[in-house]
Structure 1
């Protein structure tokens, strides 16, 4: 297991700051071998389930892009603008419901029940999409899908933050998020296979994509209800009493409090007024805008290279596979060194290169097929490490679990708001050069680079300023209660860079 960051180590040795003397001694005496064993047990049960669930969520959210090239638009007499509206309407409830959903989830003892309910609802909605008859019906379906899918990703990140220490989160979030990249690859392959059912029971192939994938989602909802981990205290069947105590005690130490008051308006305001989260949002948009734009239009982009629909579906697989490998690799190093910024900045620079080349060469795409396809792979290489890095950076610097729940939802909420922009930047009448799509992606990536660098410098300066005061000076100036109430603003807290 990676070393604990300085803030966690300090809190573990401060009995008044969230952990008793007995628990501090227990943590100190809990062997490294036992620590590795219990974390591996959690990994084997929690992470695979979330990977499967997010794979399903991703496919259900983006399969409309696959159905588009299988005849969705002419079947429903829709225009390209109406298609973009149907994509965007999803994000209105998706964005607005994320923070409230995380507040609800944070108050519940059994995340499995709440998340299982959400997944079941959107699975039924996905199934119904296969029978929609017009544009208006598709808009209603997409709105409801966004409403019920909203709580899953912030909920998953919140649950992960309750089981792992801050400097263990990015790798787990990355593994979760690689299922999105894998989902992009698998979605194309699955759509390619299901579309061959065209004409079965008198239904078009694109309808069967929604129906089959909706049924699979309902089955996963049942699995979530039965198998998703809730908390260490509710896991005596596979955790020993000492393992449960270890997992709970180290979370108390990491949070810096033995108890917290529940959610209140002060916590919400502290998130809204936190300047750091807005820089993280900008950094997140360097992933969200180009990623959402590309994931719904990649089959179209590849088709513009001269490939038929079936081959275009299959050729979406390698770029997403590259993204999955990239997200995991960068996150392993970020957790190992407890340093987030470089492993966000390097992928962002890859995006600048990828979209810069596409912006300049896509007008002659038929003469630059290999180069442009390579840039699609490079774009996925750059996009997928950013979200795990940004979310882990957020979690690492918020010790209060109630504020963390709101901040996770708020960051993901505004990150997904970037998806609304992404819906409209690939214009059908600009095919195949897509200057608006590639140019807008470049602009948001550049803004994200600036945000990441400003945040890094600001947190470094704060740590330098706090280091000027000794622990004795700090304890003379502030009471224990004051230091606890200051949370990450405490001079004893060391920001993760």
Structure 2
């Protein structure tokens, strides 16, 4: 029922199905004379069955984002304390139940409550998985793994419309409408997978059961050699949370995530419109959306691999955001459907690969398990809440070229580009200060003419590493 971003970031296909299915429905109708949003509301008569007005539907659509975004930082902290096998699996189980209940909802108030619960139960998945990956792999290995995870969900989203169309043929089976069966079957499938995941999902390196003690020591030492000193585990302290809240990187990362999450939401809504403008029927319209997403998947994995191999995440972001600007300038000025369709490939080549590259860049530059969990949760959460804005910027009255929507996305990409430059400039400045020994701490028993008490006083170097995380003078940020 939203635009598919939650699917693209690792959730089930519950929200993207109606969007992709709406593309099928729209392709059989003259889009120049029909309000595009109303087509989604009337899809399979869901609005009529629930007695929804246009305003009520928009409220339900938007309410998902707020608990989804706000709960992400807390979710990551809870996952660290409860273990991934428990937290991620429990979260999947609960959102599967909530999704299934969508199929028996009776009215607006019930739907609104379920949308809030869905946002709450899905909140921690994407930042949780990213945090989980960053806890197992070195900084030079994170980007490709995140890209594969992100891309697998993207490919699943590409086929969600066909899945919805097939399930909808169960209309009136058991007295339930077709749209209800979409939620019921996908919800039950999620519940079954969540039960299996209790045994499939492993925990963090310091407590994963499948490792022998020799293997555990190897994995932890390997990570610690890559400046992940907290890999052996750390006791929860409120000071670690405050480290994230006081860190400038957290807030610049929020701007960075805003720069690609806003366009991502908007893209998934606009793609069906481009295909409609090409004049294809229902089946062909669905099939034409598949190569776009497949291309995005391929580019995401390639860029993820290049980012890990070269370590130049700043330069990659700079190039990708620039390509995104070019793509949306073309969309903003285009007057032909073919040119717009070409620009869509440029857009997905930029927007989708930016996400895992930026996620890895931020995760690699935040040390401390709890600090990293909060920083990722806040950045990803703030990025996601922008979906409440960009999911509604392609208005029916702006067709056929949607200048306002493209202009707003262009603004978001500009914010992402500016945040990328600021992030890189501040990281480089901090590395220079550390190279000049201006961040050296006072270590008891160690004579160091560069050390200063303003940087902290610690019993040993190991103590300084664990307490200061990436603020330790020996830590170097990656570019």
Could you say which TM-score interval applies, normalised by the shorter chain?
0.7 to 0.9
Gaps of 5+ in 1: 1-52
Residue correspondence of structure 1 range 281-296 to structure 2 within 5 A? 281-296=254-269
- 2:59 matches 1:85: yes
In structure 1, the residue matched to 2:305 is 332
Residue 15 of structure 2 is aligned with which of 61, 68, 72? Answer: 61
What TM-score, normalized by structure 1, do the two folds share? 0.80
In structure 2, the residue matched to 1:95 is 69
State whether residues 303 and 309 of structure 1, in contact with CA within 8 Å, keep that contact through their aligned partners in structure 2.
no
State whether residues 220 and 232 of structure 2, in contact with CA within 8 Å, keep that contact through their aligned partners in structure 1.
no
In structure 2, the residue matched to 1:429 is 397
In structure 2, the residue matched to 1:37 is none
Residue correspondence of structure 1 range 29-40 to structure 2 within 5 A? none
State whether residues 103 and 406 of structure 1, in contact with CA within 8 Å, keep that contact through their aligned partners in structure 2.
yes
Residue 113 of structure 1 is aligned with which of 67, 86, 108? Answer: 86
| Runs of 4+, deviation exceeding 6 Å | 53-56, 470-473
Residue correspondence of structure 1 range 122-271 to structure 2 within 5 A? 122-232=95-205, 235=208, 237=210, 239-253=211-225, 254-256=227-229, 262-271=235-244
Q: Deviations over 1:121-153 (max 9, x none)?
A: 111221222333444333222111111000111
Residue 443 of structure 1 is aligned with which of 386, 411, 415? Answer: 411
* Paired positions, count: 438
Q: Secondary structure at the match of 2:366?
A: coil
Select the structure that is richer in helix.
1
- 2:342 matches 1:342: no
Aligned partners of 1:428 and 1:327: how far apart in 2?
31
Once structures 1 and 2 are overlaid, which stretch shifts more, 247-256 or 415-424?
A: 247-256
Aligned partners of 1:216 and 1:258: how far apart in 2?
34
Q: Deviations over 1:219-261 (max 9, x none)?
A: 2212211211123465555x45432221122334433358776
State whether residues 96 and 188 of structure 2, in contact with CA within 8 Å, keep that contact through their aligned partners in structure 1.
yes
1:324 positional shift? 0.9
State whether residues 282 and 447 of structure 1, in contact with CA within 8 Å, keep that contact through their aligned partners in structure 2.
yes
What TM-score, normalized by structure 2, do the two folds share? 0.83
In structure 1, the residue matched to 2:350 is 382
Gaps of 5+ in 2: 1-6, 26-38, 441-445, 453-457
State whether residues 184 and 295 of structure 1, in contact with CA within 8 Å, keep that contact through their aligned partners in structure 2.
no
CA spacing shift, 1:148–1:236, aligned 2, 3 Å: closer
Residue 414 of structure 1 is aligned with which of 372, 382, 386? Answer: 382
Aligned partners of 1:167 and 1:82: how far apart in 2?
47
State whether residues 93 and 195 of structure 2, in contact with CA within 8 Å, keep that contact through their aligned partners in structure 1.
yes
- 2:442 matches 1:488: no
CA spacing shift, 1:380–1:79, aligned 2, 3 Å: farther
State whether residues 55 and 182 of structure 1, in contact with CA within 8 Å, keep that contact through their aligned partners in structure 2.
no
Aligned partners of 1:178 and 1:441: how far apart in 2?
22
Once structures 1 and 2 are overlaid, which stretch shifts more, 284-293 or 296-305?
A: 296-305
